[in-house]
Structure 1
Amino acid sequence: MKRVFSRFLPASMRSNTVTIPVIRLHGAIMSGGNQFRPSLSLASTAALIEKAFAMKDAPAVAITINSPGGSPVQSRLIYKRIRDLAEEKKKHVLVFVEDVAASGGYMIAVAGDEIIADPSSVVGSIGVVSAGFGFQDLIKKIGVERRVHTAGQNKAILDPFQPEKPDDVARLKDLQLEIHQTFIDLVKQRRGLKLKDDPDLFTGMFWTGLKGVELGLVDALGDMRSFLKQRYGEKTRLQLITPPRGFFGRKLGVFGSQAPDIAAGAASGLIEAAEERAHWNRFGL
């Protein structure tokens, strides 16, 4: 009688079914974002992460990552939220890399207790990059005079409308080295003895998932569905975690329920789209 009754229960409530919550973290990592150009940040992912770890009977949380990186601060905040909840809820974290988990994307990936990638995935790029443009010759050509008045000699550091100064570049380099060391320490802390002694490991170089296994950046090769069914049984069920919905059924996500200013949002979206495209292009994607 008990067996017959179990047929009418939802799959997640059957004793012989294991349900694994799945979080998708896809896109460039940057603070802000809007409905025209959503991005990965702690604000845009916190609700999904909390919801996944709230599933009491799930033995693990699965996370798919497809990100070329971006903000080191937002990357570390997402990483830390995942690790804090994994320890608090006693959950195993399995990270699955799709096209790319590079730079900040890889920083998030090391939140996993295990990292699984496709052989052709791109992983690594453990480094820091800052990019910009210099317009000083352009404004001269069109007859524009740049006027900057500051209280504090370093307030106009790296102004794109003024010639680049060696002291400014040196200051930026020092800043990058500090951020880079934080990244290196985090990877060493999480990957430990799995990492191979390779001189290029922390130079910003990136590799395929196949080579990533050799270097200790990745634990195994495979795809989510096959891996989870092999680990937890053929009846394993994957449940994609989606943003909460508002009263009228709209996905609230992380950008709130208020409509953004369309003109400002569109303009901002174009700039962010260009930045995001540059991130992906670095890895041939």
Structure 2
Amino acid sequence: MEWFDQYVFFLAKALTVLLVVAVLLVLIAASKGRGRRAEGSLQVTRLNDRFQRMQDQLSDLVLSKQARKAQLKARKQQVKTRSKDAQADEQGRVYVLNFHGDIKASALDNLRHEVSALLELARPQDEVLVRLESGGGMVHAYGLAASQLVRVRDAGIPLTISVDKVAASGGYMMACIADRVLAAPFAMLGSIGVVAQLPNVHRLLKKHDIDFEMLTAGEYKRTLTIFGENSDKGREKFQEDLENIHRLFKDFVARYRPSLDIEAVATGEVWFGSEALQRGLADEIKTSDQYLCERVRQAEVFEVHFEQRKRLQDRLSGGLAQAADKVLLTWASRFNNQRFW
């Protein structure tokens, strides 16, 4: 037993030393990374190869050897015929981008790099497909995200946006720029409106004899406040600002989808797939998977993703933030009958 106690004591000391060394290395790496600017890299995946690998795996398990041999022979003949086709390169390529938006449009940083990269190579006979999922968020953030897609359209490159789940509010601001909008049968589109809300605890502070002082220069520097007493004039100005943003939103959508009855759809409502198609918010009912399966038979399809390198402290803080967001969103969806816009 004495030998065992000594062994446990030695093991505890060794683990303590290792832990201290690991912490020191992390701190050294973090201190060196503070002065460095985080860089990223562009990752490109040829989706034709990915689809082919999955098909091969299934074929190996399902088809007989004779059927598999015939399939491979037919594929070789198809590749040979395509390579002889002088017009093969004229069919164009498809570049696939993914945008999963949160309230701050955090994916914007990656999107701007992806767009800048592909615009150096893409041609008018190519196509950009954006798989878009967003329920909207901050006006200025989604305004800039939409501007990135405008760059693609202004360059004369066909832009297709596919919505499998939701493109609402700022998300639809991005979607409306496309030459063609694809929507899954139960995807939600619309919410062309503006909302703002904030609590006011002025009466609570007053009840406890707590004063709140706010000094401003400019009549409308602050219209509504959380802690101070809000005036009717401030509310009117705040509402006026919301109406102005809504007007700009409607003008933006109408510019890129002129066939829309903008006054009929800019009510803040959302519509599901076929309903959105009837109202002109979408052009076709189709999932992104269906569309990609079609396109890989017709052209080379490349998925483009800009991966931002993050420092250790950013990764740790980001992981904690994502975990907290997941917990909050889970409980929010429960309290809102599983509907979260």
Aligned to 1:53: 119
47-56 or 115-124: bigger deviation: 47-56
Aligned to 2:130: 63
Provide the C-alpha distance between the structure 1 equivalents of 2:238 and 2:337, rounded to a whole number of angstroms.
Answer: 21
Aligned to 2:271: 207
1:74 aligns with 2:141: yes
Give the letter for the 2:96 counterpart: V
Q: Is the Cα–Cα contact under 8 Å of residues 116 and 220 in structure 1 kept in the other structure?
A: yes
Give the letter for the 1:62 counterpart: L
Q: Is the Cα–Cα contact under 8 Å of residues 163 and 288 in structure 2 kept in the other structure?
A: no
Aligned to 1:25: 99
> Is the alpha carbon distance of 1:157 and 1:270 closer, same or farther for their aligned partners in structure 2, counting shifts above 3 Å?
farther
* Structure 1 counterpart of 2:157, from 86, 91, 111: 91
Report how far residue 76 of structure 1 moved. 2.2
> Is the alpha carbon distance of 1:158 and 1:275 closer, same or farther for their aligned partners in structure 2, counting shifts above 3 Å?
farther
Provide the C-alpha distance between the structure 2 equivalents of 1:181 and 1:283, rounded to a whole number of angstroms.
Answer: 31
Q: Is the Cα–Cα contact under 8 Å of residues 68 and 283 in structure 1 kept in the other structure?
A: no
> Is the alpha carbon distance of 1:203 and 1:260 closer, same or farther for their aligned partners in structure 2, counting shifts above 3 Å?
same
Q: What stretches of structure 1 of length at least 5 have no aligned partner?
A: 8-14, 32-38, 245-250
Deviations 1:95-132 (A, max 9, x none): 00121100000000012110000010000011111111
Give the letter for the 1:243 counterpart: F
1:240 aligns with 2:306: no
163-172 or 211-220: bigger deviation: 163-172
1:284 aligns with 2:339: yes
Report how far residue 266 of structure 1 moved. 5.8
Q: Is the Cα–Cα contact under 8 Å of residues 183 and 284 in structure 2 kept in the other structure?
A: yes
Q: Is the Cα–Cα contact under 8 Å of residues 96 and 116 in structure 1 kept in the other structure?
A: yes
> Is the alpha carbon distance of 1:170 and 1:106 closer, same or farther for their aligned partners in structure 2, counting shifts above 3 Å?
same
Q: How does 1:127-146 map to 2 (within 5 A)?
A: 127-141=193-207, 144-146=210-212
Aligned to 1:10: none
> Is the alpha carbon distance of 1:275 and 1:71 closer, same or farther for their aligned partners in structure 2, counting shifts above 3 Å?
farther
Provide the C-alpha distance between the structure 2 equivalents of 1:138 and 1:50, rounded to a whole number of angstroms.
Answer: 51
Deviations 1:139-183 (A, max 9, x none): 345553322233444444311012322111111111111111111
Q: Is the Cα–Cα contact under 8 Å of residues 94 and 129 in structure 2 kept in the other structure?
A: yes
* Structure 2 counterpart of 1:113, from 179, 187, 190: 179
Report how far residue 203 of structure 1 moved. 1.1
Return the TM-score normalized by structure 2: 0.63
Give the letter for the 2:98 counterpart: R
SS at the partner of 1:177? helix
Q: Is the Cα–Cα contact under 8 Å of residues 228 and 236 in structure 1 kept in the other structure?
A: no
Aligned to 1:223: 287
* Structure 1 counterpart of 2:256, from 182, 190, 201: 190
Higher Rg = 2
Pairs aligned (count): 254
SS at the partner of 1:21? strand
Q: Is the Cα–Cα contact under 8 Å of residues 250 and 262 in structure 2 kept in the other structure?
A: no
SS at the partner of 1:192? coil
Provide the C-alpha distance between the structure 2 equivalents of 1:68 and 1:165, rounded to a whole number of angstroms.
Answer: 32
Provide the C-alpha distance between the structure 2 equivalents of 1:105 and 1:74, rounded to a whole number of angstroms.
Answer: 11
114-123 or 182-191: bigger deviation: 182-191
Provide the C-alpha distance between the structure 2 equivalents of 1:160 and 1:274, rounded to a whole number of angstroms.
Answer: 23
Q: Is the Cα–Cα contact under 8 Å of residues 29 and 71 in structure 1 kept in the other structure?
A: yes
RMSD, aligned α-carbons: 3.7
Structure with higher helix content: 2
Q: Percent of pairs identical after alignment?
A: 23
